[in-house]
Each structure stands twice: as structure tokens, then as C-alpha cells.
Copies of this chain bind each other. A is one copy, B any other.
Amino acid sequence: MRAIVFDGKLRVRADYPVPEVKAGEALVRVHLSGICATDIEITKGYMGFRGVPGHEFVGTVERAEDKRLMGKRVVGEINTGCGECSWCRAGIEEHCPERTVLGIHGRNGSFADFLALPQKNLHTVPDALSDEEAVFTEPLAAAFEITRQVDIGPNESVCILGDGRLGLLVAQALSLTGCNLVCVGRHPEKLKILEERGIETRLGEILERAFDLAVDCTGSPEGFNSAVSITKPRGTVVVKTTVAGRGALDLNRVVVDEITVVGSRCGPFEPAIKALKKKSVDVVALITKTFPIEQGVEAIEFAKRKDALKVLLKMA
């Protein structure tokens, strides 16, 4: 099969072996796959990953023990636990210490014609959703993870820092709570996507300490301190992105102002699929460009551009 492979260097291969399908797993033919900041980090050596990256996808089940899945269009949760530890028994496979993570750790990913995932990781995609919408399920679920972790009431003042791929999804997901939300960024054309959906934005910087909740989606080493500096005492800062080398972090402010910092990673697929189905979140506007898989190396290079939002890889 065709696959984008990272083995210290990134290249497209035409002859990569189709993944082995273990008991309980399904083989999925990938239609479309999204490039995420983590994929870019992987091509810089993050997690020491070797193999096929990619974890945002939509595809069709080609082979499965559960015949009801056959031929179904699916998206998939990316963490696969050992099934036996206390985390797995509690249904929280994403924190299993022995987990594999699709295209990130111990399991080849979605930048290929085929991928294998446990059947229970798959969610069928409603017919009302296009592939271009469905491929956003995974990153949108990561945005909804915040609402699982933090109670956001309608009177809360919330600031999203960053107008990249993740910032725009988080802003849209959190605005559904009815809170007083503003998204701060540096790119007028990206913020415009939110403005058109009635979400308040600010170009440049925020200096007031005026927010109950700040979400750092900047992906930059300075993002955390900025988020802390605009958060009221006893407020909450959510950190969504892993960053190599953060520099000096202002934990003293966290202590003096009794701020709560919440690390946030993968999230629940159901609310993401529902929001996409109801069109209460606009993801198609985030697609900057779609490349055929053969141009995968150029696609990942393109995704690094400051003006790029979501870049997709098309397999067929």
C-alpha cells in the first residue's frame, strides 16, 4: 500500500506492507487524513516514533470480525489499552501505561491506504457528514475534552489563546456552552472564521486579568505564562499542547493567585460527532488545502506554514 513513513527521514512509499490485523481489530481503508501539530513534532523526533504517522482520519471498514461494521464509514479513537490494567478496566484506555496510540506510539497511523484499530475504537459516521467534516472528529473531540474536565457556566469569562487549528476548534466547542468567550490571535483571516460564526475575537494581545478560564492553544513556549497572566485569582488555565522547551514558567503566580492548571489531551467522540451533525461547529472553513498522499512530504511541509490551518491528505 501507499504510506508516508518516518524513519528519521520522511518519505512516501508505494510498497509499504498493509497492517497486520489482530484479534478484535478491524482493517480500515483510509479516505482522508488530517495533519496535526503532533505529526509535525513527530517528524522532528517527538516520542521517538518510527513508522506511519497520522491519527485523524475517516475511512471504510474493509475487514472486521463484527460483520455489522463491514463497509461502514468510520472514524476512530486513537488510544488502545492493554485491556487488563486498572485504567482499562475503568474504561480510560487513553491513560493505560501500556497503551499504543495510532500514528504516535507503537502503532502505525492513518497517512496510508490502510490502518488497523480495535473494533471498539471505531465510531460509524452519520450519512449527513461529508468526509471533510468527519475527518475533524478526533481534534474536535480533543476540544470537547475541556468541557468534560472543567465546568463552564454561562456567566464564565473564557479566553482562548491562539488562532491555529486547535484554537479555532476549541473556541467553537466552548462557545456552545454560552459562556462569554473571546479568542485572541495574530491572524485576521483565521479569526474571521470565528467572527463569521458570531464568536468574539481580538487581534494581538490581551493584558487584563479578566478571565475565569484561559485555554492555551498557542503551541508556543510563552503561551502558558500568557494564559496565567490573564486569569483571575482562583481561575483555571487549560493547557492543550505539548511544547518542546518552555523556558521559565510562572508557577509563583499560580500559587499566589491559587490558579488551577488542567492538562488536557484526547476527548470524547460522541459530542464531537453530534456537533458536526448539527452543524453547530464549522470545520470545513478550516481546510486550507488537500494533497494526494503521493505529495505527503510536501503536505506536511505546507502544514508548517503560519498561514495554514488544516491540511488534509486524500488517499482516493
Residue positions of A touching B, CB distance < 8 A: 87, 92, 95, 149, 224, 233-234, 239-243, 245-249, 251-265
Within the complex, which residue of B239, B255, B258 is in contact with A254, where a contact is CB–CB below 8 Å?
B239
Considering residues A224, A239, A253, which has the most beta carbons from chain B within 10 angstroms of its beta carbon? A239
Chain B residues positioned under 8 Å from A243 (CB to CB): 251-252
Chain B residues with Cβ below 8 Å from A264 are: 255, 258
CB pair B258 A261 closer than 8 Å: no
Tell me which residues across on chain B come within 8 A of A263, comparing CB atoms: 251, 253-261
Determine the residue in chain B with the shortest Cβ distance to A264: B258
The winner among A95, A251, A261 for most chain B CB atoms within 10 A is A251
- A95 near B254 with CB under 8 A, answer no
Of the candidates B233, B234, B239, B257, which one forms a contact with A255 in the assembled complex, judged by CB atoms under 8 Å apart?
B239
Contact of A233 among B87, B242, B251, B253 (CB under 8 A): B87
Residue in contact with A95 in the complex, picked from B233, B247, B260, CB distance below 8 Å:
B233
> Quick one: given A92-B234, A233-B87, are A252 and B260 in contact (CB under 8 Å)?
no
A224 B251 Cβ-Cβ under 8 A: yes
> What is the CA–CA distance of A97 and B88 in the complex, to the nearest angstrom?
45
Q: List 30 A-B contacts (CB under 8 A).
A: A87-B233, A92-B233, A92-B234, A95-B233, A149-B258, A239-B251, A240-B255, A242-B251, A242-B252, A245-B248, A246-B248, A246-B249, A246-B251, A249-B251, A251-B263, A255-B263, A255-B264, A256-B263, A256-B265, A257-B263, A258-B263, A258-B264, A258-B265, A259-B263, A260-B260, A260-B262, A260-B263, A261-B261, A261-B262, A261-B263
How far is B164's CA from A229's CA once the two chains are assembled, in angstroms? 30
Which residues on B sit within 8 Å (CB–CB) of A233? Answer: 87, 92, 95
Chain B positions within 8 Å of A254 at CB level: 239, 261, 263
Which residue of B is nearest A262, CB measured?
B260
Across the two chains, which residue of chain B brings its CB closest to A223? Answer: B251
Q: Which residue from chain B places its CB closest to the CB of A244 in the assembled complex?
A: B252
A242 nearest CB neighbor, chain B only: B252
A246 / chain B contacts, CB cutoff of 8 Å: 248-249, 251
The residue on B at minimum CB distance from A149 is B258
A176 smallest CB distance to B (angstroms): 21
Q: Which residues of B contact A242 (CB under 8 A)?
A: 251-252, 255-256
A238: min CB distance to chain B, Å:
10
Closest B residue, CB atoms, query A145: B258
Measured CB to CB, the nearest residue on chain B to A258 is B263
Chain B residues lying within 8 Å of A224, measured Cβ to Cβ, are 251
Measured between C-beta atoms, what is the minimum distance from A225 to chain B in Å?
11
Q: How far is the CA of A254 from the CA of B249 in the complex (A)?
A: 13
- Sorted nearest first, the 10 A-B pairs with minimum C-beta distance are A95-B233, A254-B263, A261-B261, A255-B263, A242-B252, A249-B249, A258-B263, A259-B263, A242-B255, A260-B262
Chain B residues whose CB sits within 8 angstroms of the CB of A261 once the complex forms: 254, 260-263
B249 touches A258 (CB 8 A): no
